[in-house]
Amino acid sequence: MRSSILTMALAVLVAACASTPPEQDPVQIKLNNLDERLARVERIAGNEAEMSQRLDQVQQSLREIRGRLDELEHNGEALTKQQRDLYADLDKRLAVASAAAGGPGGATSSGPPVGGPAGAAPTGGAADNAAEGNAPAGGGAAAGGTAPAAGSNAPSSTEQAVYSQAFDALKAGSYSVAITGFKDFLGTYPASPLAENAQYWLGEAYYVNKDYESAAGAFRAVLRKWPDSRKAPDALLKLGYTQAAQKQYAAARSTLTEVTKKYPGSDAARLAGERLKRIPGQPAQSTPPPAPAQ
């Protein structure tokens, strides 16, 4: 009897143990949690790397677009200059032809006719063009067409070719080649209409190559040599970026603030304002000391 009771008790105890799930190991629980956290961190890091890569691609595309706009603008200026020269030459030839047709009998187009008011060359024709450097002062047509005016703002074909080679290297990501090309261009053609662009893109090439000291020097050269050029706002903005990359936060803050004040409403000012928000160690607003108690 007693053995039967003992056997039944043991059976009940074994059944109870079998129905109670074993407790999980605390160490295993912590390891599982760490695995989950690590997986989340890896996903976040992967997303950030992808975003950084996309940002680099966007910046590269912007550099290509801006460079192409520079080329188009200079080509447009050269075309406008050629059109002005052509119109001036046509005006001059028409003035000479008109004077020859209206002069006394026997007058030819070899020179201005001799005679009274009916044979005088119209004012505002060849004489005005000669004063602008587009035609000889004698009023006759220039041999072989009009010579380029002094101080022409169009780059030569050689200058354009050398500049394009350096810029193409920059677009292709060959930054060292681009740096050498732009430096050679500036050394050979310091007075070229493309010089300010070459100086700016030299700074960009240094910047993307993380040679921040040289980049800052190149951007400062733009501001020093061409302070009123259309590249000046971008050069000042990129100088602030470069100072921030060098962790010269006070200088970067001052430079970017100058961009917002000097070029309000521009894209450079907008970008400078956005970059200012990300500079660490923003100075706290100073509060006046409390007034002494009366």
Name the DSSP class of 291: P
**Residue 278 above 90 pLDDT?**
yes
Same domain, 161 and 127: no
Is residue 242 included in any domain, yes or no?
A: yes
Is residue 226 included in any domain, yes or no?
A: yes
Using a cut of 0.75, tell me whether the model's pTM lies above it.
no
- The 10s digit of each residue's pLDDT in 160-191 is 999 999 999 999 999 999 999 999 999 999 99
Furthest-apart CA atoms within the chain: distance in Å: 160
Same domain, 211 and 107: no
pLDDT at position 153 is 74
Same domain, 214 and 125: no
Contact 212, 242 (CB under 8 A): yes
- The 10s digit of each residue's pLDDT in 98-151 is 455 444 444 333 333 333 333 333 333 333 333 333 333 333 333 333 333 334
Tally of CA atoms within 13 A in the half-sphere of 177 that contains its CB: 13
Report residue 10's pLDDT band, with 50, 70 and 90 as the boundaries: low
Helix H segments across the chain? 2-19, 26-102, 126-131, 157-171, 175-188, 195-208, 212-225, 232-245, 249-262, 267-277
Contact 275, 258 (CB under 8 A): no
Euclidean distance between CA atoms 95 and 269, whole angstroms: 51
Same domain, 111 and 185: no
Question: Which residue range is the domain that position 119 belongs to?
Answer: 78-131
- The 10s digit of each residue's pLDDT in 214-228 is 999 999 999 999 999
Domains in the chain, number: 2
- Tell me which of 136-145, 205-214, 283-292 is least confident: 136-145
Top-confidence residue, 167 or 292:
167
